[in-house]
Amino acid sequence: MTDRKVSWRDRFGEEITCLRCLEVKDSAEMDRLLWCKECRLAARGRATKRGWMIGIAASLTLALWIWLVVEPNRALVPGGWLATIVAAAWIVARVAREVLFGVERFQNRRAAEAVPPSLPPEADA
């Protein structure tokens, strides 16, 4: 018996096909869902962009609520309200990014990042 810990990588060879882009990569680049580093970065970028859109929308909603419901006057510190809105945008964007990235990882759609090969130009007959 060996003392070496068994890894999920032991089931595969040195090269593995990424499930997202369908490119053959070294097994060290793959994670346990068989996504390569580039596909993970692309998914993280999409989640970040969407997360900021959700964060900004939530902060605008909060600003509207503060303006219409709370009705701050000059006696209240406007910088405090502004800081609250900015903090809300940042926190909601971070949470939304992680949730969206987790959803994309959970769905694990096959070949979503794959680029079909280009066809050779047809020669005139």
How far apart are alpha carbons 32 and 12 in whole angstroms?
Answer: 11
How far apart are alpha carbons 11 and 34 in whole angstroms?
Answer: 12
User: Model confidence over 18-60: pLDDT tens digits?
Assistant: 888 888 888 888 888 888 999 999 999 999 999 999 999 999 9
Domain spans, the chain: 13-107
Query: What sections of 2-77 are H helices per DSSP?
Result: 37-65
The overall pTM is greater than 0.85: no
- Strands, E, within the chain: which ranges? 15-17, 24-26
User: Model confidence over 66-85: pLDDT tens digits?
Assistant: 888 887 776 777 788 899 99
Q: How many C-beta neighbours within 10 Å does residue 111 have?
A: 12
